[in-house]
Structure 1
Amino acid sequence: MSERKLNMNIFYQELLNIQGLEVEFIGNSQIFKESIRGFSINSKTIQPDEIFVAIKGDNFDGHKFVGEVIENGNEINVVSRQWYQENGKQFFRGNFFIVKNTLTALQKISQYYRLKFDIPVLAITGSNGKTTTKEMVSAVLETKLNVLKNPGNLNNHIGVPLTLFSLNENQDIAVTEMGANHKGEIAALAEIAQPDYGLITNIGPAHLEFFGSLEGVFQAKSELWSFLEKNSGCAFVNVDDPFLAVNIPAAKKVVKYGFENDADVTGKLLNIDEQGRAAFLVAGEEIKLKIAGVHNINNALAAFVVGRELGIEPEKIKHVLENFEPADKRMEIVKIKGLRIVNDCYNSNPASARKAIQTISQMQTNSNRIAVLGDMFELGELSEKEHGVIGEYIADFKNINYLVTIGKYSEFTSKAAEESGMQNVLHFEKKDELVKYLKSICKFDDIILIKGSRGMKMEEVTKGLMAIL
């Protein structure tokens, strides 16, 4: 991400005049003549002279740290009216911007700040591959442009506003990943970021606990299309996705891409090597990916299409994509003691689990393929069913020799796999016991997939296994 200048292009006094934001100020009005240096919601990482925004969530309340922040020298705070009425009198120092809701204030200020810059914004959402696509696209664009992007996967109702505060006049484009697990959240993020371009990677069974169905997922993600339609934007459409292919947005410009269906830009899968890395052909360029997983050709094709649309030469795009490294815990291949561990622990849902299973089935080995699967979260009433479907799915791959599961719902995966005729299926309640078992069966040239939702912390299995090999 581009480094933010010391001062932002906004003065303290402007916070009192943002449309739709009621603000009361108590403190030293001399600060109004000064420009703001930044915003922070974290009392531990706040930088000197940044504004502290005391966000209240379901399990935390930033207001508890206002005193600590002031004592450490950051005297300017955004706080709720209710908190100030109950606690404000005890503070003899500090400057307070008092609002009804601090999260709403953060978002309103971020939207106001974004509109100060006449630079394009690309929004990326979808069920799978958002972060990888965002990183690929950004790397491609950075060959020619100064790019702002979300750090890591800070893609929610807090992360996107904080990212936009890093805008400056030296940047050429912002690439914002947008995540959501409730309807209306993408629409809200689009209003804040005001994207000129939009890309939905795919529609899959993620966050079904809140979306209810695949149709619900599509309705939530396509809120991005709605914004682009109303604001004369450009949509990049993956026509290999069955939902997206039959719901082409009525945006001012639409660029369709894919491998299987007619598109404006069509790729052709060439081969998959022994490490599960795909090569594909697009616009006369043969691109060999360094990242494992045949599904990553869709992410790479999206990056190619965006790059070409924004003026990046095809040979530069090819170079970037062929040297792209996976982010931590995303289809990361770790080689140790003759084993290949596919460390895909960052997150999991039914679609990404299938893709990871497919990947190890395509990787070449003279030994065993072992799948270690943890629970997939946020599937709601469909949790048992979806975990069972994964068990049936993996049983169809006769070259996957072991299935090892852990977690409340993954037991349904192992049971379904056994019922479908798969041998060597074991379920564990504790990670240390699982790791010991893996050590007992591992041998030279084995391929071990380790995957689960973020809350399962499956990287502990990866680290535990590496520690005792």
Structure 2
Amino acid sequence: MSQFSFTAEELAKNIATKSLLNSPNQIVKHLLTDSRKITDAKESVFFILKGSKDAHQYISSVYSKGVFTFVLTNLDFDTSPFPNANFIWVNDSLKAMQQLMAKHRAQFSYPVIAITGSNGKTIVKEWLYQLLSPDFDIVRSPKSYNSQIGVPLSVWQMTDDYNLGIFEAGISKVGEMGALANIIKPNIGILTNIASAHDEGFESRQQKLEEKLLLFKDSESLILNSQYNHTDFKDKNVFTWSLTQIADLKISDIKSSLSHTVITANYLQQSVSIKIPFTNQVSVENAIICWATLLSLGIEQDIIAKRMEKLLVVKMRLELKTGIHQSSIIDDSYNSDFSSLDIALDFLNQQNQHPKKTLILSDIYQSGISTSQLYQKLASLLLNKGVHQFIGIGGQIMKHQNLFSTNSLFFKDTDDFLKNFNTANIKNQTVLLKGSRDFEFEKISKVLTQKVHDTVLEINLNAIVNNLKHYKAKLKPGVKMMAMVKAFAYGSGSDEVANLLQHHRVDYLAVAYADEGVALRQAEITIPIMVLSPEVSSFEALVKYNLEPELYSFRILEAFTEYLENQNIKEYPVHIKLDTGMHRLGFNPNEIEKLGSFLKKQSVLKIKSVFSHLVASDNDVHKEFTELQISTFTQIAAQIESNLKYPFIKHLANTSAITKWPTAQFDMARLGIGLYGIESVEEEKQALANVATLKTTISQIKDLKKGETVGYGRSGVMTHDGRIATVKIGYADGYPRALGNGKGFMLVNNTLVPTIGNICMDMTMLDISEIDTNEGDDVIVFGEDLSVYDVAKQLNTIPYEVITNISQRVKRIYFYE
């Protein structure tokens, strides 16, 4: 495979404003932007990008892993501890990387397709890859790499081994597309649509359209809906499609059945059609865009029709499930291309719940390189990623098994694996399933995954990361972040969420009780953990597992001090809670003098932080009280600091205060419910991503007559002839009995339907008389379109109560896109 590379000296000539080259001939083949994702260290350059934290602090750890070339901006950085390193200074490291990729792109003359729009970019890209692979060797964006960082990383994959590139580009505000256009330099452009996504970054939809179209300023051809056709495109070869207007491809009819859709259109004054194995509206539109693209490229209609009928589902996200024998299963069993494998392995390495990591992988298709080169590259990747066990499935991998380590197993196909592999060997480990669709790895997933009942709580890990970044961006420079993972991470699952937060470098975690902290330590969570409600009985566990207690009264303070003295422990980290108005836990202001005197005399405690809790930071009605709390906290904390003679972390701001009260941020902020997509500050709600979706399924549908009754006590009475559906969720799952008899609603086939009758322990009945649905169909209890706010309103309570009441018997499935 032709791997493009350059020396550190050549890199410096291209982008540097200043350089220090201790190893100028160092070969650079890989671009790094994340210190946690290092593959081939010796042949990598680390771009230190601007973020919420100063990434220069990671140079030491990256250097220790074997990376010797760094692109940075801090002219005062001390390079003396790194005698073998190359340092390349630039004014803006992101712009420098983009500039470098624009030069890389210029080396290739084969056509490049660029896709932008509000929705559908990744699906259209992946379907075009499926449809065009018989004709081209294609390089494409991994997953949905379409950002200011993702596009350069995508384009860097271009080599002479390919003859077509397909890249997607996304923007969230004005001024971003110009850089991406200069990197991709597309010959062919595709605009999917203009919808509500990222509206907040633009003055109007028209402005958003104009910005997105900048991607195609130098393109020769353009495919788009005729409603977006523009007078500036007179010099381009424009191919239009439409459902309603005159267009090159004018859709005349769409007919869907249970399993497929037939789309008919007028093209070149002829009636043409395609059949796709999808029925939803989004898939239909994405298929039409692909159809129009293939026609514009000159692909014959009969060939297009045959390929369209074989389109495969594009699985956009990894699923993290509970596996057999105390294992975790990462299910990505619908594709095995090399780029997405690299991403999936990074996600595998984020999981620290188990000591062993296993990859089960099928043959890799359509890589654009020879199989011997491909599997040599794969073997090297697995070694660099620290995979403990590799299981290869497929004839091609078996032929190259000599390339892999001794801790590898090979099977000719999926049935061979299921017949001969002893699943008892999958124990206390994390397993990544990565397979091409033909291998039907869903059969393996079914065997390795712990059986679950059909009610599940889906947790979107990307949404948690989005929300974390949203609040981090609001913090002042240097302010730390404490994330609350008490109460089973607000119902979302402590281990998995804490592991994600640790990976994204939050400074502290907080739990309610010591046993929650112990569970996190046993799941390999190593960052500091504060315990909010310690008791005397938990002291031994606190110390054994290095948990830091909140001390809120003289009773608990004196008891813990005595325990440490008896154990001959010095300077144990603790946190002092102050009561500035909540009147729940904490030392009162009139106790501070006594507290200071006590702390000054002892040597077993080390005060890591002093903090308090705001009562009503989300409500402007209580503005004066919040100001009083901030003032009181400032004075008391200063008083304690003067007694101790050493600094400590001060924190007061909760989720809503991060936004509304920046003066309350002090040294650290505590992010709670906002992390999980819920906010009490109205203007913040739209900026957060939905994290949790509670889903169930229909067990049975019954036709009933007017006057017949439903459920216990006959409280549900049919007021008309109609149908009811029994779904697999009840009050034992956390769906409250108070939502029975029409007070609660669920979402079935995008339609709200009311409950009927009393909620049972394990079941709920819904009146589905007005909709068309079937047994086995999914039902949304809450999620994106029926929010947890809506359910809380039905119950006259707050969203906190709704999500934390979801029973632990409801299995959590974690998604990572």
- The alignment's TM-score, normalised by the length of structure 2, stands at 0.41
User: Are 1:254 and 2:210 counterparts?
Assistant: no
Q: Which AA in structure 2 matches 1:261?
A: Q
Q: Which AA in structure 1 matches 2:29?
A: R
Q: Which AA in structure 2 matches 1:448?
A: V
Match of residue 47 from structure 2 = 54
How many Å separate the matches in 2 of 1:130 and 1:451?
Answer: 23
Task: Within 5 Å, give how 1:441-460 maps onto structure 2.
Answer: 441=765, 444-448=775-779, 452=784
Match of residue 754 from structure 2 = 424
Deviation (angstroms), 1:259: 2.6
- Is the contact between residue 124 and residue 177 of structure 1 (CA under 8 Å) also seen in structure 2? yes
How many Å separate the matches in 2 of 1:400 and 1:440?
Answer: 10
Match of residue 160 from structure 1 = 151
Select the residue among 201, 209, 220 that pairs with 1:210. Answer: 201
Match of residue 44 from structure 1 = 36
Q: Which AA in structure 2 matches 1:96?
A: F
Sort the Cα spacing of 1:24 and 1:467 in 2 relative to 1 into closer, same or farther, 3 A: closer
What secondary structure does 1:262 align onto? coil
User: Are 1:149 and 2:140 counterparts?
Assistant: yes
What secondary structure does 1:100 align onto? coil
Select the residue among 67, 70, 74 that pairs with 1:77. Answer: 70
Q: Which AA in structure 2 matches 1:424?
A: P
Match of residue 58 from structure 2 = 65
Select the residue among 173, 198, 210 that pairs with 2:164. Answer: 173
User: Are 1:97 and 2:84 counterparts?
Assistant: no
How many Å separate the matches in 1 of 2:2 and 2:275?
Answer: 41
How many Å separate the matches in 2 of 1:131 and 1:111?
Answer: 22
How many Å separate the matches in 2 of 1:423 and 1:186?
Answer: 43
After superposing on structure 2, the runs of 4+ consecutive aligned residues of structure 1 that deviate more than 4 Å are: 245-248, 282-285, 334-341, 343-348, 374-377, 379-384, 398-402, 436-439, 463-468
Q: Which AA in structure 2 matches 1:264?
A: D
Sort the Cα spacing of 1:467 and 1:107 in 2 relative to 1 into closer, same or farther, 3 A: closer
How many Å separate the matches in 2 of 1:112 and 1:423?
Answer: 56
Select the residue among 10, 16, 21 that pairs with 2:12. Answer: 16
Match of residue 794 from structure 2 = none
Deviation (angstroms), 1:107: 0.7
What secondary structure does 1:90 align onto? coil
How big is each residue's C-alpha offset from its partner over 1:155-192, in whole Å with a ceiling of 9 and x where there is no partner? 00000001111110111111111111101212221112
How many Å separate the matches in 1 of 2:194 and 2:678?
Answer: 17
Sort the Cα spacing of 1:451 and 1:88 in 2 relative to 1 into closer, same or farther, 3 A: same
Match of residue 252 from structure 2 = 268
How big is each residue's C-alpha offset from its partner over 1:289-330, in whole Å with a ceiling of 9 and x where there is no partner? 223412322211211222233343434433333222333358
- Is the contact between residue 144 and residue 312 of structure 1 (CA under 8 Å) also seen in structure 2? no
- Is the contact between residue 133 and residue 300 of structure 1 (CA under 8 Å) also seen in structure 2? yes
What secondary structure does 1:182 align onto? coil
- Is the contact between residue 337 and residue 444 of structure 1 (CA under 8 Å) also seen in structure 2? no
Match of residue 25 from structure 1 = 19
Sort the Cα spacing of 1:186 and 1:380 in 2 relative to 1 into closer, same or farther, 3 A: farther
Task: Within 5 Å, give how 1:159-308 maps onto structure 2.
Answer: 159-225=150-216, 227=217, 231=218, 233-239=220-226, 242=227, 244-245=228-229, 249-274=233-258, 277-282=260-265, 285-308=272-295
Sort the Cα spacing of 1:40 and 1:439 in 2 relative to 1 into closer, same or farther, 3 A: farther
Sort the Cα spacing of 1:446 and 1:87 in 2 relative to 1 into closer, same or farther, 3 A: same
How many Å separate the matches in 2 of 1:39 and 1:137?
Answer: 27
Sort the Cα spacing of 1:195 and 1:145 in 2 relative to 1 into closer, same or farther, 3 A: same
What secondary structure does 1:124 align onto? strand
Deviation (angstroms), 1:345: 7.2
CA RMSD of aligned residues (A): 4.5
Q: Which AA in structure 1 matches 2:56?
A: H
How many Å separate the matches in 2 of 1:27 and 1:177?
Answer: 35
Match of residue 128 from structure 1 = 119
What secondary structure does 2:115 align onto? strand
How big is each residue's C-alpha offset from its partner over 1:278-297, in whole Å with a ceiling of 9 and x where there is no partner? 22135555322223412322
What secondary structure does 1:31 align onto? coil
- Is the contact between residue 183 and residue 220 of structure 1 (CA under 8 Å) also seen in structure 2? yes
How many Å separate the matches in 1 of 2:764 and 2:211?
Answer: 45
How many Å separate the matches in 2 of 1:301 and 1:186?
Answer: 25
What secondary structure does 2:113 align onto? strand
Deviation (angstroms), 1:30: 4.5
How big is each residue's C-alpha offset from its partner over 1:352-373, in whole Å with a ceiling of 9 and x where there is no partner? xxxxxxxxxxxxxxxxxxxxxx
How many Å separate the matches in 1 of 2:724 and 2:175?
Answer: 40
How many Å separate the matches in 2 of 1:37 and 1:249?
Answer: 38
Sort the Cα spacing of 1:347 and 1:102 in 2 relative to 1 into closer, same or farther, 3 A: closer
How many Å separate the matches in 2 of 1:53 and 1:178?
Answer: 23
Q: Which AA in structure 1 matches 2:69?
A: I
- Is the contact between residue 401 and residue 423 of structure 1 (CA under 8 Å) also seen in structure 2? no
- Is the contact between residue 126 and residue 203 of structure 1 (CA under 8 Å) also seen in structure 2? yes
How big is each residue's C-alpha offset from its partner over 1:246-284, in whole Å with a ceiling of 9 and x where there is no partner? 667334211111232211123333311235x42213555
User: Are 1:107 and 2:98 counterparts?
Assistant: yes
Sort the Cα spacing of 1:347 and 1:324 in 2 relative to 1 into closer, same or farther, 3 A: farther
- Is the contact between residue 53 and residue 62 of structure 1 (CA under 8 Å) also seen in structure 2? no
Sort the Cα spacing of 1:116 and 1:123 in 2 relative to 1 into closer, same or farther, 3 A: same
How many Å separate the matches in 2 of 1:211 and 1:307?
Answer: 32
What secondary structure does 2:246 align onto? coil
Note the residue ranges of structure 2 that are not aligned, 5 or more in a row: 320-441, 464-675, 691-721, 730-734, 736-743, 767-773, 789-805
Deviation (angstroms), 1:54: 3.1
How many Å separate the matches in 2 of 1:106 and 1:263?
Answer: 40
Deviation (angstroms), 1:131: 1.0
How many Å separate the matches in 2 of 1:103 and 1:425?
Answer: 53
Sort the Cα spacing of 1:162 and 1:286 in 2 relative to 1 into closer, same or farther, 3 A: same
How many Å separate the matches in 1 of 2:34 and 2:145?
Answer: 14
How many Å separate the matches in 2 of 1:237 and 1:76?
Answer: 43
Sort the Cα spacing of 1:381 and 1:26 in 2 relative to 1 into closer, same or farther, 3 A: closer
Higher relative contact order (CA 8 A, sep 6+): 1
How big is each residue's C-alpha offset from its partner over 1:85-109, in whole Å with a ceiling of 9 and x where there is no partner? 2232232221222222211111111
Sort the Cα spacing of 1:466 and 1:112 in 2 relative to 1 into closer, same or farther, 3 A: same
How many Å separate the matches in 2 of 1:57 and 1:464?
Answer: 42
Sort the Cα spacing of 1:24 and 1:295 in 2 relative to 1 into closer, same or farther, 3 A: same
Sort the Cα spacing of 1:319 and 1:439 in 2 relative to 1 into closer, same or farther, 3 A: farther
How many Å separate the matches in 2 of 1:347 and 1:261?
Answer: 38
What secondary structure does 1:97 align onto? strand
Sort the Cα spacing of 1:326 and 1:316 in 2 relative to 1 into closer, same or farther, 3 A: same
How many Å separate the matches in 1 of 2:300 and 2:126?
Answer: 18
- Equivalent pairs counted in the alignment come to 382
Match of residue 627 from structure 2 = none
Q: Which AA in structure 2 matches 1:278?
A: T
Deviation (angstroms), 1:346: 9.9
Match of residue 331 from structure 2 = none
Match of residue 327 from structure 1 = 314
Match of residue 347 from structure 2 = none
What secondary structure does 1:203 align onto? coil
How many Å separate the matches in 1 of 2:45 and 2:80?
Answer: 18
How many Å separate the matches in 2 of 1:323 and 1:380?
Answer: 45
How big is each residue's C-alpha offset from its partner over 1:334-361, in whole Å with a ceiling of 9 and x where there is no partner? 99999899x997999xxxxxxxxxxxxx
